[in-house]
Structure 1
Amino acid sequence: MEFLGTTQVASYCGTKKSCLFPDPAPTSTTKDTYQSYYLPGYRHLSSWKPSVLHKVVSVLPSSAEQFGPTGRPPTVLPALRSALHSRYSTRDWHHANMVQLKGSEASRYWAGRMNTDSVRMMQDKDQLTHQMQEDSRRNLGDRISNIDFWRSELAYELECLLKETQALETAKKRLECAIAEIQVPLKTALECLYYREKRKEIDLVHDDVEKNLMKEVDLYKDCQEILAKLAQRINHQLGINRDVQHALEQDLSDKSAAHFIDTKCFNLRNTSDSINFYHGVEKADGTVSVPATWAKFSEDNIRCSQLARANSAKLREDTELAMESTSEELWNQYVSTNLAFNKRIAEVADAKNKLQAQLAKVLQEIFQTEDTIMLLERSIMAKEYPLKVAQTRLEGRTRRPNIELCRDAPQFQLVTEVHTLDDTIQTLKKHLQEARDTLQMLLNTKSKLEHDISVKANSFFIDKKCMEMRKTFPCTPRLIGYT
């Protein structure tokens, strides 16, 4: 700790009255231009700091020396000298102020952040409330549109069923021929499904081709079943028509009531008079279906009505339409499956080409990474020699004698240089390890790309083989039973 008006170095230039040696002659201009200042009660800094040059001997002053014109009597009692050592330093005072300011800044920062977060949270919640209400209203509108759609479908189907009263004379031979014709594309679709099971690993995916093939197989089987039932249920169609009519009327009545209720809910606003609190209503769940089962219920009713009308002995036109629609669905599904095959083949070929292009880029990146590793190793080796020089200089300077063992500017610079070189070497080594890890990753990527390319080539071959199997399809007259 340094006192005001002097430094630890300057304390050696002051007068030492109690020293046995005579005062040295001034050797610099510093003593002539700057007068050292000592606190009252202190002769010089050597009274509390041991001297490294000479030993201080205490001599009892005479009465003439105590009260002579050149003497300086103490102004502070010796008992109070310890109080000066127990006081805080200026550095402590500045540190305390700095801590207080930083604490205040942190408190203001967190308070401001809390206020900003609170305002933003209120805005977000207001926006969320408005958005949720708009979403609910939009969902109600969509639900009303769905109900209108199914109401129109049910009403149309009920009207058609009420008009259809005549029996349909079924040509059993046509039905049997149509069932036999459907068996050929069904077998082809099944073979394609079994053949595509030979795909490997990631390419063994449930893609659009497989979905269309499965849909095609199901459609073939459904068509066969429908045509078989048409031949068996011709004499029982009137009773089935009455049952289907009752189901359609009940479903249509339920949807009309639901449409009225949802329309009323859709028109409610925040300013409506009929709104009120119903605590706990959100916990009571009296629903018996989900949108999928709800739509499936009406779809099943319509499907039963269509099947009933198609099987009617007196509805020749509906039977003919059913045969033609079956043929059209089969053809559309066949075309859709072929389009999915072509698209998948193109995707696999494009993926294979991209993988090959990526493999070339990875190989190039591997070469560049290997060069980078070599350059990093050389750079690390190049930094070792300057580090040796700096450390050797530091080690050599530790052997300076006595007072020459000074912590001067070269000492600071050498220490800084050693730390900087150490950090540089560690950073380079870290980058070198990252480069080696990257190289290993690129090698793994290269292996994966090569394997994936072989998998894509196998899938491409399988899909091309399936397309060759699907070159032929029965014509429309044969699908509707004409041989």
Structure 2
Amino acid sequence: MATKSRLKNMPAQPHKNYGYGTTANSINLPHMPKGPSVTYKPIWENANKTTFNRAESERLAAEKLLEEAKSLIEDARVRVDKGEVEVDVRLKLRTTDVDFWKSELDNKLADIKQEIDEVHNLKIRTDSECRSCIEPINITTQCITFRGGRQGCDLIRDEVDMSLDHELDTCRSSQALLGQTSSQLEEQLRLLRKCKYTIEKEHNEKEMAQQVDAVTKGIKITSLNGKKTQGRSTSVHMPRGGAPVTVSDWMNLTQQNLQRAVQTLEGSFHLRSVVNGILARVASNMKTCVDVSDLAFNRRLSEIRDAKTKLEEQKSETNVKIQEVDDTIQSLERALMAKQGPLASTQAKIQQRKMRPGAELCHDEVDVHLAREHRNLLDIINKLEGGILQAKHCYAGLQKTLLELEDEIAKKANSIYIDEVKCLTLRKSISINMY
């Protein structure tokens, strides 16, 4: 600047005319002899002035460059400091956002883990109740087989048979329903575990992102120790490939995972409610069927016992009648034997009186009375023989009836043994529990 002011204060040099009508720049010098070159004063002055002006321009440009460099350095410092502060603020905000979504994922992950435990326990209960159906099915099937051993008129399709068939159908349908329910619970566990894996994966990624941001936040100029870091990364994780996603996509992905987890949990809650109802209903239906069958058994046993008691009473009375008929037959036979003597005597008298001689062989009152007595004896004997025959027929019928009664009583005893000893004793081991 001082040089510039000096240039302004210098007096302007007038153009001198050397009589040739031209300026110093275009002067035509007279022919000079050859020898060492000679510089004239105007040329020297112009050369000095040109050099001075060029130096002055370079100096001014340098001063301007220095001013701009200082301004650039100051602006760079301010912008770098501002950028570093802005990055720290953005990192802090980003960390806050990641913390928020990570806490949401933590909460949802805890809910999913708890739900997995609940569904797993419910599946164990369902499988246990499904296995518990095996024993009632086997026992009911054995009872149906045992009751096929009834005899005679007892081998009928009674109320007990219908109850056992209904009980068997109920147990089998309950077992099939519980098997399907267990498969649904297994599928729900798969969905929950898949959701848990997704949430854990995203949670771990956010945790890694926090670590990366923490390392990023700790990177300062002083932490580099003044060393160049060309081609070297200070990250705690290896960089991944692929283009980065936008913040909105990042947030949408987390929200979608959380929403999917919420939907999966809601579906699991509904399924658990339905399964608990199924377990209660299955246990109630099976217990009702077992109780109905047991009640039918008891009623049938009461009927069979009553019938057996009546048959035994009838058998006792029949035995008495058989004995009475046998005594009557013996009495009739004795009476018949007792009439053989009078009949022979009467026949002898009639034959003896036929030996009267001549006119004495007349049909007198003695003949009339003897003939009447003979007819009476024959009639009595015939009636006694008919009575004996009827008594023997009655005796045979009573004996046959007695055998039938004994056979029927044995059948009733067999039915009681099957229902009471075999079936009801076996059915005592049936245990219907709601797991």
Question: TM-score range, shorter-chain basis?
Answer: 0.3 to 0.5
Q: Which has the higher helix share?
A: 2
Give TM-score scaled by structure 2 length.
0.44
Give TM-score scaled by structure 1 length.
0.40
The higher relative CO (CA closer than 8 Å, separation ≥ 6) is in 2
